Amino acid sequence: MTSRSARSPLTWLGGLLVVYLVFPLAAFVVRFSTSRARGFNTPGLWGALRTSVESATIATLIVGVLGVPLAYALVRHRGRFARALGLLVVLPLALPPVMSGILLIYLVGPYTVVGRFFHQRLTGSVAGIVLAQVFVSAPFLVISARSAFATVDISLEDLAATLGQRPLARFLRVSLPIAAPGIRAGLLLTWMRAIGEYGANIIVAYHPYSLPVFTYVQFSGAGIPATQAPTILVMGAAALAVIVANLRRPARLRRRTAAAAPRSPNLGPSTRVGFDLDVTAGEFRLRLAHQAKSHRLAILGPSGSGKSMTLKALAGLLGAGAGPVSYNDDPVAAVPTESRHIGYVPQGQSLFPHLTVRDQLQFAADADGRLGSWWLETLGLDSIQERLPHQLSGGQRQRVSLAQAFSRSPRLVLLDEPFSALDAPVRDELRRQLRRLQRDAGLSTVLVTHDPEEAAFLADEILVVDDGQILQAGPCREVYDRPASPKVARLLGIDNLLPGMVAPGGISVGGIVIDADISDVRPETTVLWCVRPERVALVAKGGGSHRARVIDVAELGTSTALTVRLDGGPELRVRTTDRTLFLAGDACDVRIEPSAISVWPDLLQPAPSR
């Protein structure tokens, strides 16, 4: 603790509470250490201790078996019934324990149906104590487990589904291990609440004595000296329970076996997707329909355009109600995600936080150890295969996510911004590796990205989407060469998007006319036009159609980006992979092929008057 935090008012306020909690314990320890008559020989003491420990343990087991699934269900279901059920579950916390016992009498009392079934013996047995303890202590587990399950990212269960794990396996292998610390805390609270229960016990099952009831009887008959033994026993039991609950679990022993011989992927026939989606989320509506002609499809669009939702629908994570989906003309909308045999790399580097790198690759229901070994080698993960996700860098986690999706020879791989967190050299290498798999092994992919260059490199066919709708679809070359609208041009990253007016022979921009194919546009129409930077050529003076001056030159390593200003016209962006001799301030000529220019009427401008 730093000196500044020690002087904080918050520290002093917390310290007051600590003093209040510790003082009675200290006073008891002093009294106990100096007393001669502590009550350890009192008849019935050890039987009461045994009854309390036994009943509290049984009650905790019952609450654990029933309460953990209930807490999970309350988190995963958000309707009115779930909210009402959640309120009922915590109701015993608001009731004095004696009143809880009164309520239980209506269920298990001697003259109830349940009481008569057990020959009126429930209220005088350990079973009666257990029933009382379950009622008053169950909320502690349910609340703790519910909070723990609420922290489990639902996308991890979705990821497990794409790896072939069915609902029960997803609960046991994903949600339960992640929520385990909170559940252990809840079980500890449940056991301690149960062993200390007095009010409900004395109403439901006065006999046999539990330790709290025994202590009250001794206090009523013999005073404080006779209560020292049961008090120190309860304190010892509670301390032991806390110690056991907080024991550091031993490291899992891994059975060392010879590493499986790596096996390269064998993916079989390629898969083309088709879909007709209609999904509403809040005020956002996704309405996309397309039949891919290639096994390499990219979906390009800005954030919030519906790209990730589309990918989830193709994976089956939005259910059959999202609309028809087909793989190679085979309808799969009614096929659950775990049965589709796909790979899925969600946005955000989702990995199971409790599994090592090797276990991530072996998590799929049909995991192939040899294929996993091949991917460990291929993606350079050999040296980190025993690490947990929190011990990895962002780039390493991304590579593990890719390996996890590829390690089951999937029929189709769905990639949601898979390279966004990687360093440039790693990103380029993984892109090339993925492209080789697409070409050589027939890997079928649907790629979601906002990077036009990545989409062109990893797809034959592209969908440009925005606001839940398709703006343009088709082969990459066709879409990139002829954007259907200015919005598509912007999304494709075309910098040179400029206003102009149709003039004889081309487009009038400022004081010059640029040659363009404008045969289908009326003269004097206000238009927007664009040309890709790589389709603008800089040549020596006299070799082009427009004089210009270089404004800026930026060396980008593999290419050079220039900005030029046309004499009497606008600025244009130029990109070339050739070594350029032009410097900022140099005069030059610009040459643009008319076929490289796309033109659209500017709908935001009023039509010219006649």
- Separation of alpha carbons 499 and 507, rounded Å: 9
Provide the pLDDT for residue 560.
Answer: 92
Provide the pLDDT for residue 262.
Answer: 64
In the 8-state DSSP scheme, what is residue 172? Answer: I
- Separation of alpha carbons 518 and 592, rounded Å: 15
What are the structural domain ranges in the chain? Answer: 29-245, 273-478, 494-601
What are the tokens at 164?
A: 């072939």
CATH of the domain spanning 494-601:
2.40.50.100
Provide the pLDDT for residue 418.
Answer: 87
Give the other-Cβ count within 10 Å of 266's Cβ. Answer: 10
What are the tokens at 384?
A: 């980190």
506 and 532 Cβ atoms separated by less than 8 Å: no
CATH of the domain spanning 273-478:
3.40.50.300
pTM: 0.82
Q: Evaluate the CA torsion angle 446, 450, 455, 460 in order and state its sign.
A: positive
Please determine whether the domains at 273-478 and 494-601 fall in the same fold group of CATH: no
CATH of the domain spanning 29-245:
1.10.3720.10
Provide the pLDDT for residue 223.
Answer: 84
Low pLDDT (below 70) residues in the chain:
1-7, 248-268, 349, 421, 603-610
Provide the pLDDT for residue 380.
Answer: 82
In the 8-state DSSP scheme, what is residue 270? Answer: -
Give the other-Cβ count within 10 Å of 98's Cβ. Answer: 13
What are the tokens at 501?
A: 């007016």
> What is the DSSP secondary-structure string of 285-312?
EEEEEEE-SSSEEEEE--TTSSHHHHHH
Provide the pLDDT for residue 50.
Answer: 95
- Separation of alpha carbons 114 and 443, rounded Å: 63
First vs last C-alpha separation in the chain = 81
**Measuring CA to CA, which residue among 569, 551, 581 is closest to residue 499?**
569
- The alpha-helical segments, DSSP class H, found in 151-291 are 154-162, 167-170, 176-195, 199-204, 211-222, 228-245
| Strand, helix or coil for residue 244 | helix
Provide the pLDDT for residue 312.
Answer: 95
